[in-house]
Amino acid sequence: MLLADRVAIITGGAKGMGRAMAVKFAEEGASVAIADISIKEANGAIAEVSRKGKKGLAIECDITSEKQVRGTVEKVLSEFGKIDILVNNAGGIIAAPPIEEMTEEQWDKTFALNLKSDFFFCKYVVPHMKKRKYGKIINLSSIGGIQPPHHAVAYNTAKAAIIGFTLDLATALAPLNINVNVILPGPVRTSFYDRTTSKMTDKEKDEFFARMGKKVPMQRAGTPDDLAGAALFLASDLSAYVTGETLLVSGGLPLLPPS
């Protein structure tokens, strides 16, 4: 098993990509803690982890609250005794109006959800990793951080900032055997698109994601499992000599799709 006896925290692990990562990590031997605002869905994900024969812990956490993040890290250390892997997966679009219509509150909330939360978790997990001289940190950015597919200025800017955040930490922590990498997902079929698809029938949703897939060189939208496989590589010792890497998991984007 690639993650035998490892302990992972996954933010936003209640559903979508984070849930797929939690299950994949458990399959490979890791105990998993999920930090998510939705405790009911987080408990459901941990039930899947348990069915893989591994220990899990669901923690209700507002990842934009430093106090709650600190408490979450303390709970994980109390329960498992260590933290080997941190996946800063949680994020999302708060609002995407034209910049002249965006409010300061929308801007700040977007950065809190997508960037400040990563800062909080690293602030409290990194000291523990430093003491042990081991750790894997995986941050989730977006292809929008390098080539925005549509105008969502606060979200795309925050996702670009996550890349810089990752590179700085990778440089600082490399001598301590702590790997810090960032994944840039392309279009992935998750609840991220609920704003658009929530009122669609199942057939209409299938058609929506099929059209989206036609814009991708590999001619399909991604799945949560696509991201889980990439995260597994970065969480395992297969990537022992990989740090500061910006890994696109995007079906070939930003390459152009076949004409």
**Residue 212 resides in a domain:** no
Mean pLDDT of 124-140: 98
Is residue 61, in this structure, part of any structural domain at all? yes
pLDDT tops 80 at residue 110? yes
Taking the C-alpha atoms of residue 258 and residue 102, their distance in angstroms, rounded to an integer, is 36
Any idea what the CATH number is for the domain that residue 95 is in? 3.40.50.720
Query: Would you give the DSSP letter of residue 92?
Result: -
> What was the pLDDT predicted at 199?
85
Question: Within 13 Å of residue 156, how many CA atoms lie on the same side as its CB?
Answer: 15
Average pLDDT for 96-125: 98
Residue 215, judged by CB atoms within 10 A of its CB (0-12, 13-18, 19+), counts as middle
Q: Which of 167, 21, 27, 24 has the alpha carbon at shortest distance from 86?
A: 21
| Catalytic residue status for 155 | yes
What lies within 8 Å, CB to CB, of 228 at 6+ separation is: 17, 20, 21, 23, 24
Q: Among 58-62, 70-74, 107-111, 211-215, which stretch is predicted with the lowest mean pLDDT? A: 211-215
Q: Decide if pLDDT at 58 tops 90.
A: yes
Whole-prediction pTM value?
0.96
State the average pLDDT over residues 9-19. 97
Task: Report yes or no on 127 lying in a domain.
Answer: yes
Catalytic one of 124, 134, 155, 193? 155
Query: In this structure, is residue 210 part of a structural domain?
Result: no
Whether 218 is covered by a domain: the verdict is no
Question: Domain count of the chain?
Answer: 1
Torsions phi, psi of 219, nearest 5?
Answer: 65, 30
Does residue 59 belong to any structural domain of this protein?
Answer: yes
Whether the per-residue pLDDT at 140 is higher than 90: the answer is yes
Within a domain: residue 142? yes
Percent of the chain with pLDDT over 90: 91
Kindly report, residue by residue over 149-159, the tens digit of the pLDDT. 889 999 999 99
Residue 131 domain-assigned (yes or no): yes
Domain that holds residue 91: 7-192+223-249
Q: Which residue is listed with tokens 């990537």? A: 239
